[in-house]
Amino acid sequence: MTLSTPVDAISPIGRSEAATLAAAENDRFVTLAGALDGDDWTQPTDCPAWDVRALAGHVLGAMEGFSSFSRLARMMRASKKAAGEGPFIDAMTAFQVRERATLTHQQVLDRLATAGPAQARFRRRFPAPLRRAPMNKEMTGADETWRMGYLVDVILTRDTWMHRVDVTRATGRPMVLTADHDGRIVADIVAEWARRHGQPFSLTLQGPAGGSFTARPKGDEPGEAVTLGATDFCRILSGRAPGTGLLSTEVPF
């Protein structure tokens, strides 16, 4: 019998653990990209505006943009100017793709190999005052205020992880999943999802990154029961696939 983990027992990802997860996830994306061949790069992905090549440009842009203060400042200035009155994050990702659109596949791979470790090191030493800086983000039609530390420690890793899912789905390449790395990222996503909807549930996620999770905020009320693959669960919460009931509650990636 598999024991379920109460969601309130899932500890938040701290700064040191975040740096370890970032380094490992960046390395896994770089390894996956290095295995792609010519046809793989032109495959459409679950991100409608991007094929695999454009998606890799975005991931590279995020790695390079968060690898030094000068690069971060330049990316932020250009993105703010491009956004105007529109969503800042959308402008930033478009800038990342556009600026790297002329690179050859080999140049993308070479720069990913350099940028992945550099970004992980930079994020590890990101200073506390900047971590506390607020930033605005729209989620499902509502404005939220995040701390920069949440973006640096959690969202950047989730984003790379989800794009690794995108690439494997688009190309048929295998998705490397382990309980210690991917399972930790997924468990943190489960915990945030639970906080956002605040309802009782029992959740069974299948595969190496999965597990069983429960929430009983209203006494013994069992709540909604959900069973599906761990990556499928995350695709739904990211808006890549439709979800009903509690699965309609999106989580930022």
- Which pLDDT value is given to residue 221? 76
pLDDT higher than threshold 80 for residue 139: no
For 29-38, 59-68, 132-141, which range has the lowest pLDDT when averaged over its residues?
Answer: 132-141
Q: Which two tokens stand for residue 38?
A: 């010519």
Which of these, 199, 169, 182, 64, lies nearest to 123 by C-alpha position? 64
CA angle 53, 59, 64 (to 5 degrees): 120
165 pLDDT exceeds 90?
A: yes
Q: How far apart are the C-alpha atoms of 150 and 134, rounded to whole Å?
A: 10
Can you give the pLDDT at residue 136?
75
- Mean of the per-residue pLDDT values for the chain? 93
Q: Round to whole Å and give the CA distance between 230 and 249.
A: 16
Give me 44's structure tokens: 């459409």
Which domains does the chain possess? 5-9+180-248 (no CATH), 15-171 (1.20.120.450)
Residue 217: predicted pLDDT:
65
Helix (H, G, I), strand (E, B) or coil at 134: strand
User: Is pLDDT above 90 for 142?
Assistant: no
Q: What is the mean pLDDT of residues 157-186?
A: 98
Give residue 218's pLDDT. 65
Q: Rounded to the nearest 5°, which phi and psi values hold at 158?
A: -60, -40
Residue 86: pLDDT over 80:
no
If you average pLDDT over residues 163-190, what whole number do you get?
98
Q: Does pLDDT of 1 surpass 60?
A: no
pLDDT, mean of residues 105-128: 95
**229: β partners:** 206
Q: For 203-228, how does the pLDDT look when each residue is reduced to its tens digit (9 = 90+)?
A: 999 999 999 999 986 666 778 999 99
Sort strands 142-147 and 211-215 into parallel, antiparallel or unpaired: unpaired
Residue 5's pLDDT band (cuts 50, 70, 90): very high
Of 56 and 81, the structure prediction assigns the larger pLDDT to 56
pTM of the model: 0.92
Report how far residue 140's alpha carbon sits from residue 72's, in angstroms, rounded to the nearest whole number: 27
User: Residue 118 pLDDT more than 70?
Assistant: yes
Q: Half-sphere exposure of residue 253, counting CA atoms within 13 Å on the CB side?
A: 26
